[in-house]
């Protein structure tokens, strides 16, 4: 399977996830390539069996560059895609209370917005992964490699 991975990344965490994913997919015998979105042309992406898009969070949304990239993606309806995001891990408030899943989902709209942009083009989602960073600049959460491994397994299931 040929897999193209396009990521945004300001501080390098998303790039690390994309590179690890590429390495794992290659190890499974796939042809995978990972690129920063600034090195790719969304209107004329090369042929692939699966496209993976990865974005950091920005005020509850995907980073602007990724939103613009996804808006310009021009792929045939039915093309398969997967997404991942790097997001700040939910933290307790000043009283030590953790936000509920609903509270987090209300303002962390990174993946839903990525899906919305791709689904309106008729693209078909196969998997997603959310990898946390411990702070704005990282590092990636403990156990992030395991999450990426599970993501790679989920993608490989679609061969
Ligand atoms: C201005 C700004 C706004 C951010 N807003 C969010 C946010 O709403 N949700 C979130 O999970 N992370 C937010 N972050 C943190 C990013 O998730 C984090 O910087 C990113 O995942 C790191 O990935 P990168 O190293 O690939 O850039 C924000 C970071 C910055 C600089």
CATH number for position 90? 3.40.50.360
Q: Which of 14-18, 38-42, 85-89, 103-107 has the lowest mean pLDDT?
A: 103-107
Helix segments in the chain, DSSP class H: 13-27, 64-72, 101-107, 110-119, 144-156
What number does the ligand 1 atom closest to the CA of 56 have? 21
**Domain membership of residue 111 as a residue range:** 2-156
Query: 18-23: long-range contacts at Cβ-Cβ below 8 A with a sequence spacing of 24 or more?
Result: 18/52, 18/54, 20/145, 20/148, 21/52, 21/84, 21/148, 21/151, 21/152
For 78-117, the pLDDT digits (tens) are: 999 999 999 999 999 999 999 999 999 889 999 999 999 9
Give the chain's domain count.
1
The SS3 call for residue 63 is coil
Which of 11, 17, 6, 49 is closest to 130 using CA atoms?
17
State how beta strands 31-36 and 61-62 pair.
unpaired
pLDDT at site 159: 63
Q: Is the pLDDT of residue 157 over 90?
A: no
Give the distance (Å) from ligand 1 centre to CA of residue 132. 10
- Is 11 a pocket residue for ligand 1 (Cβ < 6 Å)? yes
Q: Which of 3-12, 61-70, 102-111 has the lowest mean pLDDT?
A: 102-111
Token readout for 129 is 């992964």
- Is 13 a pocket residue for ligand 1 (Cβ < 6 Å)? yes
Q: Which of 67-71, 104-108, 155-159 has the lowest mean pLDDT?
A: 155-159
66 CB-near residues (< 8 Å, 6+ apart): 8, 37, 53, 55, 114
For 45-56, the pLDDT digits (tens) are: 999 999 999 999
Cα-Cα-Cα-Cα dihedral of 52, 139, 131, 147, to 10°?
Answer: 90
Do the Cβ atoms of 56 and 8 come closer than 8 Å? yes
What number does the ligand 1 atom closest to the CA of 132 have? 21
């Amino acid at each position: 399977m040929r897999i193209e991975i396009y990521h945004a990344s300001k501080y390098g965490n998303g790039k690390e996830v994309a590179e690890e994913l590429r390495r794992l997919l290659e190890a499974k015998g796939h042809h995978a390539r990972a690129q920063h979105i600034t090195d790719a042309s969304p209107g004329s992406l090369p042929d692939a069996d699966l496209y993976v898009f990865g974005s950091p969070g920005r005020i509850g949304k995907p980073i602007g560059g990724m939103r613009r990239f996804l808006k310009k993606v021009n792929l045939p309806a039915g093309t398969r895609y997967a997404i991942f995001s790097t997001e700040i891990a939910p933290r307790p408030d000043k009283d030590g209370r953790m936000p509920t899943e609903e509270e987090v989902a209300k303002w962390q709209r990174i993946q839903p917005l990525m899906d919305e942009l791709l689904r309106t083009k008729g693209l078909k989602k196969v998997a997603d992964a959310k990898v946390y960073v411990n702070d704005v600049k990282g590092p990636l959460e403990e156990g992030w490699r395991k999450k990426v491994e599970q993501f790679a397994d989920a993608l490989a299931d679609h061969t």
